[in-house]
Amino acid sequence: MFFLKKRIQRGICMLLAGMMLAVCCAAAPSGSVAAADASVLPMYRRAVDFPAGDLSRLAQVIRRAQCGEPITIGFLGGSITEGRGAANIQDCYVSQVYKWWCGAFPQAETTVVNAGIGGTSSYLGVHRVDTELLVHQPDLVFIEFAVNDTFTEFCMNSYENLIRKVLMADSSPALVLLFAANSDGNSSQAVEAALGQYYELPMISYGNAVIPEVAAGSFMWHEIAEDTVHPNNMGHAIFASLITTFLEDVRARIDQISVSPERLQRYGLPDPVTPQIYQDAHIENAATITPVAMTGYGIYDFNYHFTDNWYSMEDGSFLSFSVEASNIGVIYQRTVEGTFGQYDVYVDGVYVKTLDGNYVEFYGTETEAEALYASPDGSTAAHVVTIVKNPQSANVDFVLIGLLLS
């Protein structure tokens, strides 16, 4: 076990060096997504070119669906999972996988929970997975954060914590890891796949499937994507076909898959590779925590994913919180219009960083999550978090969505 952990950590060090949608089958659109045809099979083989992983939990879910039991499938990820790039929500890969599942198991009532939020990483994911996904008691979960996570120990830490939170959830769901990629093939797949292999999880790589096809001239990137990251309808269809072909393959050989009883248990996991500092991670907003001091803020539902935001529209605005935590982060709104201000954050009177409410790198608005403080020894203690407008900021508008605590 020690050797395995060290091997993963060495691999990471080398790399570092170099709307929630809930639907039931009764409401499903007509038709279903077919498993991959012959032209997709070479892509599929590359997409699943990982150690097979343990299929005990997934086989159990499929057997239950075959018996007509109700099944809940959850998706957690970024903008690709949310459906960005697809012409409409029915064209995104999540909806297409749902349609396939309903066609494959028409006797089972199926619910899909899409917890994808654009521009977010596993750091925010580990804080919101309980209330946005696990509360629905999913039987099968797909996680997709490869293009939003980075080659850092920070993301490795949050991603592993997220894996363990899902596997230890009350419903003991099956878990499949998905790896998207941008146009040059960059993603955090290597980091996440190392953890996937360690936990013997099935994995599917969209990047492995399509990047070699682009290089070979089978199709151009712009034919499968609307920009450098987001698949268009064709890209979403390919992504869905990779997943449904995998599910069809498991279903076709279900009688040959032996189930390991210990793998079905919530706590039958290997020792963690990284510190488990986010197992109680959660978000506090204006409905759940009261500031010890507040000036110039109102409470609005500015962000359509998260309610009860603090919205500052006055000069001299000020927020201060008293929290008990070992790790503290913040989630706030950024906008492309250039009308938001810059706000300084202090923890226990010590300046930590300036939050810029403007998002100018690309376009649109973004839900931004940033870490502020981590206890050196992991101990929980009382802290004061203060947010005040930077004296040099020309604009006063700022939206604090919530605090990230664990």
Contacts of 55 (CB under 8 A, 6+ apart): 202, 250, 257
Amino acid at 270: P
Say which residue the tokens 């604090």 belong to: 400
pLDDT at 364: 56
d(CA 325, CA 379): 8
SS3 state at 229: coil
φ, ψ of residue 237 to 5 degrees: the values are -65, -40
Give me the count of residues in the chain. 406
Here the tokens at position 271 are: 């020792």
338-386 residue pLDDT tens: 899 999 999 999 999 999 999 876 555 689 999 999 999 999 999 999 9
d(CA 21, CA 90): 11
Here the tokens at position 373 are: 């403080």
Looking at 18-92, list the stretches that DSSP marks H as alpha helix, in order from N- to C-terminal side.
41-47, 56-66, 79-82
Nearest CA-CA partner of 166 in 190, 200, 140: 140
d(CA 350, CA 342): 17
Q: What is the fold, at CATH topology level, of the domain defined by 282-405?
A: Jelly Rolls (2.60.120)
d(CA 236, CA 206): 10
Say which residue the tokens 């199709």 belong to: 219
SS3 state at 147: coil
> Which CATH architecture group holds 2-264?
3-Layer(aba) Sandwich (3.40)
From the number of C-beta atoms within 10 Å of its C-beta (0-12, 13-18, 19+), residue 247 rates as buried
State the pairing for strand pair 174-179/366-374: unpaired
- Where, residue-wise, is CATH 3.40.50.1110 in the chain? 2-264
Q: How far is CA 113 from CA 133, 142, 310, in A?
A: 7, 10, 27
d(CA 112, CA 101): 10
What's the sign of the alpha-carbon dihedral 157, 71, 59, 245? negative
Q: Are 153 and 116 in contact (CB under 8 A)?
A: no
Which residues lie across from 324 on neighbouring strands? 382
Nearest CA-CA partner of 25 in 80, 83, 68: 68
Nearest CA-CA partner of 73 in 35, 44, 115: 115
d(CA 175, CA 112): 14
Dmax over CA atoms of the chain, in Å, equals 67
194-205 residue pLDDT tens: 999 999 999 999
Give, in degrees to the nearest 5, the angle at Cα 35 between 34 and 36: 115
- Where, residue-wise, is CATH 2.60.120.260 in the chain? 282-405
How many other C-beta atoms lie within 10 A of the C-beta of residue 188?
Answer: 23
pLDDT at 366: 84
**Residues 218/143/284/149 CA torsion (nearest 10 deg):** -50
Q: What single-letter DSSP state applies at residue 405?
A: E
Looking at 48-152, list the stretches that DSSP marks H as alpha helix, in order from N- to C-terminal side.
56-66, 79-82, 93-104, 122-132
pLDDT in tens, the chain (406 residues): 333 343 344 343 333 333 334 334 433 333 333 444 667 889 999 999 999 899 999 999 999 999 999 999 999 999 999 999 999 999 999 999 999 999 999 999 999 999 999 999 999 999 999 999 999 999 999 999 999 999 899 999 999 999 999 999 999 999 999 999 999 999 999 999 999 999 999 999 999 999 999 999 999 999 999 999 999 999 999 999 999 999 999 999 999 998 877 777 777 799 999 999 999 999 999 999 999 999 999 999 999 899 999 999 888 899 999 999 999 999 999 988 889 999 999 999 999 999 999 987 655 568 999 999 999 999 999 999 999 999 999 999 999 999 999 9
